[in-house]
Structure 1
Amino acid sequence: MVWEYISDYFNLRSVLLCSATFLVISWLLRRPRNMPPGPWSVPILGSLPYLVFVKYMSPMEPHRMFEATARKYGHIFSLNAFGYHVVVLNTYEAIKEAFQNPLLNDRPINKLGNDIETGVATACGESWKQQRYFSLNTLRGFGVGKRSFEEQISMETKALLDEIKIRKDQPFNPQYLIVNAVSNVICAVIFGQRYHYTDEDFIELFTNLNQQVKIIGSGGLLLFIPIMKYVRPELFRLFLENRERLAQFINKIINEHRIHHDPEHPRDFIDVYLTEIEANKEKLQPSHLSERTLNITIGQLFNAGSETTATTLRWALLYMMKYPDIQRQVQQEIDNKVGRDRLPQLSDIPNLPFTGATLLEIQRIVTVVPSGLVHCAAEATMLDGYTIPKGTFLFPNLWAVHHDPKVWKEPFQFNPARFLDSSGNVVQRPELIPFSTGRRICLGENLAKMEIFLFFTHMIHQFTFLAPNDSSKLSLEGISGLVYQPKPFETAAIPRQ
């Protein structure tokens, strides 16, 4: 009788415990009222098993998987990622509405116990406003994004052309040459110097940066969800090591600047930043500009000002090799409108519509940053009739926007003519948003557009790029990460007479 009592007691406790556990889990996994619909979730992992199942059934990249999920649940859908609410936006209209809303322009709070969130690209609120305003004004003060900066870019394009000539028709991987050339443009503004193409420290630096964009993943999720560092600890460890190398590289340059710092004669971005820090100290004004934010902001500007543009140019060469007829049309237009006696200039853009359309089509079909950078809801707000709770992560699926069949006819076909009107003039389509949109649009958009045009046209003007083997076998599949990179390839650059 005593045993029966004990047995009944523990059975009751088990039932109560299981019931309580079920209620707690159900509460944690509940979808807040009026949130966008989405796939099912399980305890702790959230919607991860669903995404793994979808990928297992039909292997695909994250941006394609989001687009497939949108076909089932709607152009705005929600996920649960390890207990965090995530909303994915898959149309131009949804992204535009969201990113024009000031309450949806924060970044998630970094959960890794460091200061990544203090840089200009990842800061929030007043810190972001002050850093963005200061960075934009300082970069513009050095001519970045203005026509006057063309000479600085052209100097580096000529250095790149000289490096390519050294290869003498022999196949080579263009990745490091292009990354170095593009990086030198932003280095001249931030560091006040450029680096030689054989500089070992610099090669190691952008090799580490290349690893970083692969490790962080689409939208930068690694930085904001703590459990991610336990899911792939080896990647997290490599991420921290690479970040430390970059910080040491930048600190060394900042320390060198302090030695020769002259507030009256600033040489570059670092000089102006150091002057501003000292001025705020003297005025006893509270400021979000510090030596800590300087290091982080430089790293973010350096990364944003080199990796995405260099990757776009690598894709451009790959597409020219894959579509030699398009390459010939671009060369013919440049030869007819510019001639063979000089290199193209920014003033030539209106006279080179097919070239411009080709570059726009490359940016559309590739979408170098397919999932953009994650946003965060500063407060609860409404979006397209749905409630977005405070703290929700928002991912803009730019790839889905650029491949929306309702906007682009035959979106998976490479067709520069889609950006030309009946008169042969370039048509700027609002749905093309490779630099995102809204208040947090890419800080270096104007500089990137200038670089992409000048580097591309100068290379195509001077060389014909051929596949070392059969061009039909060239792969247009990429490597997923924060930046969507082409798989390593080689090219043969044949000098044009």
Structure 2
Amino acid sequence: MESVLKILDLNSVVLALVLGLIFLVLFEIMRLHISRGRTPPGPRPLPFLGTLLDSIKDPMGSARSWLMRNYTKTQSVVFYDQIHQYGEMATLYIGRQPAIILNTLEITKEALVQDAAAFSGRPTLPVIDWITNGLGIILVNGHSWRQQRRFALHTLRNFGLGKKSAEDRVIEEGRYLVDEILKEEGTAFDPQHVIQNATSNIICSTVFGDRFEYDNKRFAYLLKILNENFMLTGSPLGQIFNMVPFIKHFPGPHQKIIQNANELLGFIREEVKEHRQTLDPENPRDFIDAYLLEIEKQKSHEDSTFHEENMLMSTADLFLAGTDTTATTIRWGLIFLIENPEIQERCHEEIVQVLGYDRLPSMDDRDKLPYTYATVHEIQRCANIVPFGVIHATTKPTKLRGYNIPKGMMIATNLTRIFTDEKHWKSPDTFNPENFLDENGHFYKPEAFIAFSVGLRVCLGETLAKTELFIFMTTLLQRIHFSWPPNSQRLDMDGIVGLVRFPHPFKTICRSRGAKD
């Protein structure tokens, strides 16, 4: 009798669990049905998972053939095409949370520019909060964001951002970069580290007051884990973490994210310690010195967001934003130019006609090098390194094209669609610098080129990134010819999609150019 009761109790527990699960699924289906009736149309989400399986299966979406001339469409290049087919606005579900996707330039400007205050927030994403603790510049909101952004802009300008001194540092680093690459002349090598080191050195000279040599193994390791975290955080692993954040308490591959973040913060903490010991209040050397002084200055203000933990995360934000995005764009640029040798040659010829082989380029040379300048912009368009932009969130209830948008709704810009919209581009589906040239061969920028976003959340480092891209790419094309190694396999041009869309690792062969050519 007792054993029978135990079996009945076990059956009751199993039945209760099954019925509970069925109830939860039915409740979630009903919730999704109600939610979908209030938001723009989009792919049908699965209960609890949303459209996660689609994004894993088709990470790039409408990369289409425009990613590279002569490259055929891969099986995964359909997801973003499906999104824009729902209209100027569409809805995806990141787990249980809806996100509105802006598919056209017009509606993007209407939201992010005309109603900027309502659309200038950042969403709460568990994987990001796990790393940042709600601190920093790029992914925070409200009073803290305004204080930190204002201070960062003011300080970076004081240390040369947007001025000739910052440009001079980029020019000098471009020379170092060429010399470092030419050490590998004639052999197949992966250019990722040297390019990442070069771009990182520009922001490092402003934030830390120094640059790092290309053979510095500790710094090379930091760049490696930085790159790794960009991929992990935006990968399916990061999306799963956002759905079930309690897994942070358990072992697993997701722990690598926090380990990498802590190592980077440890590096910055050591720099802060050294700066504090050598600080001269009358002569601040860099961003860290300026922040230490601001902490003291703001001590008496109750609403101050200046403290050491925020300094570490704000410094990390600048370091991250100033390193990987520009380096990734340059790596995509090399791929496009190797695959389109006639464009590479035309850029080189234009540069040599204006600069020769010895004079290094400056930003003043842009008007004299319209084809090269157009090529740099075309690289950004086709590289499309952040296909959905940096995600926004509404800061208050608002309306957009008849839809009531609640506070906290995630908002993303479909840059892939905007960068391939036939209304805005002469050759939307191919790599063609003519997209940025008028009928007289002069450079012009279509209004659909919004690689640095628009509105209140426009990229903090836009000016510096533009300087680096033009000077680095022009310097490389002036002095070096790039080609594929013999018998190279064709690259998967969908790339690796994380927080940034990276190219797959590749090797190139470089040859020095000189007057004898």
TM-score by length of 2: 0.86
- State which drifts further: 256-265 or 30-39: 30-39
C-alpha offsets along residues 221-246 of structure 1, whole Å, 9 cap, x if unaligned?
64983426759974421111111111
Of 57, 62, 82 in structure 2, the residue corresponding to residue 68 of structure 1 is 82
Structure-1 separation of matches of 2:57 and 2:290? 51
Partner of 1:87: 100
Choose the corresponding residue for 1:43, options 30, 44, 47: 47
Tell me which residue corresponds to 2:497.
480
Contact 2:326 2:469 in 1 (8 A): yes
Task: Please say which of residues 363-372 and 217-226 is displaced more in the overlay.
Answer: 217-226
2:119 corresponds, among 97, 104, 111, to 104
> Aligned in 2, Cα 1:474/1:46: closer, same or farther, shift over 3 Å?
closer
Bigger mean CA deviation after superposition, 182-191 or 209-218: 209-218
How many residues align? The count is: 482
1:317 alignment partner, SS class: helix
* 1:362-386 deviation per Cα after TM superposition (whole angstroms, max 9, x unaligned): 1111211112111111222111222
Structure 1 residue ranges (4+ consecutive) displaced by more than 6 angstroms after TM superposition: 16-20, 52-58, 218-221
Deviation at 1:472, TM superposition (A): 8.8
Q: Report how far residue 189 of structure 1 moved.
A: 0.4
Say if 2:57 and 2:76, in contact at 8 Å, map to a contact too.
no
Question: CA–CA distance in 2 between the matches of 1:141 and 1:170?
Answer: 42
Say if 2:348 is the partner of 1:352: no
Residues 301/229 of structure 1: CA separation in 2 closer, same or farther (3 Å cut):
farther
Deviation of residue 153 (structure 1)?
1.0
Alignment of 1:194-213 (within 5 A): 194-213=211-230
Shift of the 403–260 alpha-carbon distance from structure 1 to 2, 3 Å rule, reads: same
1:199: how far off? Answer: 0.9
Instruction: Measure how far apart 1:453 and its partner are.
Output: 0.7
CA contact 2:60–2:80 (8 Å) conserved in 1:
no
Classify 1:291/1:68 alpha carbon distance in 2 versus 1 (closer, same or farther; 3 Å). Answer: same
CA separation in 1, counterparts of 2:371 and 2:459? 25
SS state at 2:279 partner: coil
Structure 2 vs 1, CA of residues 403 and 470 (structure 1 numbering), >3 Å: closer, same or farther? farther
Equivalent residue in structure 1 for 2:393, among 367, 376, 381: 376
Which residue of structure 2 lines up, in the alignment, with residue 5 of structure 1?
A: none
Distance change (3 Å), C-alpha of 1:220 and 1:346: farther
Report the 3-state secondary structure (helix = DSSP H, G, I; strand = E; otherwise coil) of the residue aligned with 1:488: coil
The SS at the match of 2:93 is strand
Going from structure 1 to structure 2, the CA distance change for 1:220 and 1:146 (only over 3 Å counts) comes to farther
Task: Provide the C-alpha distance between the structure 2 equivalents of 1:55 and 1:485, rounded to a whole number of angstroms.
Answer: 12
Provide closer, same or farther for how the CA distance between residues 320 and 107 of structure 1 changes in structure 2, counting only shifts above 3 A.
same
Q: Which residue of 2 aligns with 1:263?
A: 281
Alignment of 1:408 onto 2:421 = no
Partner of 2:186: 169
CA deviation profile, 1:412-441 (whole Å, cap 9, x unmatched): 211111211111100111101111111101
What is the SS of the residue equivalent to 2:441? coil
User: In the superposition, relative to structure 1, how do residues 408 and 116 fare at CA in structure 2: closer, same or farther (>3 Å)?
Assistant: farther
Cα distance, 1:118 vs. partner?
Answer: 1.5
- Whole-angstrom CA distance in 2 between matches of 1:167 and 1:17: 63
TM-score (norm 1): 0.89
1:132-167: CA deviation from partner (whole Å, max 9, x where unpaired) = 110001000011122332111112111112212222
The two structures, once aligned, show a CA RMSD in angstroms of 2.9
Q: Return the alpha-carbon distance in structure 2 between the equivalents of residues 280 and 367 of structure 1.
A: 40
Distance of 1:343 and 1:19 partners within structure 2: 68
Cα gap change, 1:471 to 1:411, in 2 (>3 Å)? farther
Contact 1:321 1:466 in 2 (8 A): yes
**C-alpha deviations, 1:450-494, integer Å up to 9, x for none?**
001111111111111121225794554411111111111111221
Which residue in the other structure is 2:158 paired with?
Answer: 141
Name structure 2 gaps, 5 residues minimum: 1-11, 62-73
